[in-house]
Amino acid sequence: MSAPRADGRLPDQLRPVRFQNHIAPHATGSTLIEWGNTRVICAVMVEESVPPWMKAKKVEGGWLTAEYSMLPYSTLDRKARDIAKLKLDGRSQEIQRLIGRALRAVIDLNKLGPRTFWVDCDVLQADGGTRTASITGAYVAISLAVKRLQAEGKLTASPFSSPVAAVSLGVVDGRPVLDLNYVEDAAAEVDMNLVMNGAGEFIELQASGEEATFGQDHLTELLRLGRIGITELLQHQQRALESAV
């Protein structure tokens, strides 16, 4: 289990993680998360209104929603924009719903007031784990937006109940490993995406066998590795926010 992987990492090691805050000047809060060779810009813009369905149902508070896209040059072969196909890619739709669910799970929407937080996650470069990078980076971007709104007197208290982070896992060559890059993801017998809050509680767990099955021992080890990764990611997020000006 301690033998190094193809890129030299041990099974329980994350790729290097770095945040560059305020990457999008016109956004209320933004960060570029660099996670290994995966790079995602997460930006938040705030509208002083709520969706029509909330008004129609007289739902109090605010709303948060997410959009996700892979830019054409994010992969080796050019990826066509969704607008060119006149419909949202099914994978992108599933991922942006996951991002929205993960973030709303740790936010008190009533504390947002009658406003909408738009979270845009744009993948500049994809090398595995783009959805988990989007969730992890989006938490930092939203936190920066909240700090700005508090400084402007538009929010009196943070709406967060807890931080949130996500990480990918898998079984590669019969061995559970943390934080798959693209090569590992393509070869994995089992794929898992894990979303957790700062209290160590599960928000979402997606696991599937890729033409394979997996037993309790592998599941237990994947969850153990996932907790290690989430704990480290929460520390990265905290340092990114402490260094933000």
pLDDT band at 239 (very low <50, low <70, confident <90, very high): very high
In a domain, 5, yes or no: no
Q: What is the pLDDT of residue 84?
A: 63
Q: What is the pLDDT of residue 169?
A: 98
Higher pLDDT, 72 or 219: 219
Instruction: Find the CATH number of the domain harbouring 161.
Output: 3.30.230.70
Average pLDDT over residues 74-91: 79
In a domain, 11, yes or no: no
Which residue range forms the structural domain that includes residue 226?
17-242
164 with 119: CB under 8 angstroms?
no
194 in helix, strand or coil? strand
Average pLDDT over residues 231-245: 94
In a domain, 12, yes or no: no
Number of domains the chain is built from: 1
Q: What is the pLDDT of residue 48?
A: 95
In a domain, 10, yes or no: no
In a domain, 71, yes or no: yes
For the chain, percent of residues with pLDDT exceeding 90: 85
pLDDT for 187 beyond 80: yes
In a domain, 4, yes or no: no
In a domain, 7, yes or no: no
Q: What is the pLDDT of residue 240?
A: 97
pTM, rounded to two decimals: 0.94
| Alpha carbon distance 240, 19 (integer Å) | 6
Higher pLDDT, 134 or 3: 134
Residue that the structure tokens 């890059």 belong to = 181
Instruction: Read off the tokens for 201.
Output: 């509680």
Higher pLDDT, 175 or 2: 175
Burial class of 89 by CB neighbour count within 10 A (0 to 12, 13 to 18, 19+): middle
For the chain, percent of residues with pLDDT exceeding 70: 97
pLDDT for 46 beyond 80: yes
Phi, psi at 137, each rounded to 5°: -75, -35
| Alpha carbon distance 3, 191 (integer Å) | 20
| Alpha carbon distance 192, 112 (integer Å) | 32
| Alpha carbon distance 158, 77 (integer Å) | 42
pLDDT for 86 beyond 70: no
- Average pLDDT over the chain, rounded to whole? 94
- Looking at residue 126, the DSSP 8-state letter turns out to be -
- Looking at residue 110, the DSSP 8-state letter turns out to be G
Phi, psi at 222, each rounded to 5°: -65, -40
The kind and range of the H/E element at 143 are: helix 130-151
pLDDT for 195 beyond 90: yes
6 in helix, strand or coil? coil
Q: What angle do CA 81, 70, 239 make, to 5 degrees?
A: 155
In a domain, 117, yes or no: yes
pLDDT for 208 beyond 60: yes
pLDDT band at 72 (very low <50, low <70, confident <90, very high): confident
| Alpha carbon distance 20, 244 (integer Å) | 9
Q: What is the pLDDT of residue 79?
A: 85
| Alpha carbon distance 148, 22 (integer Å) | 11
The model's pLDDT over 118-150, given as tens digits with 9 standing for 90+, comes to 999 999 999 999 999 999 999 999 999 999 999
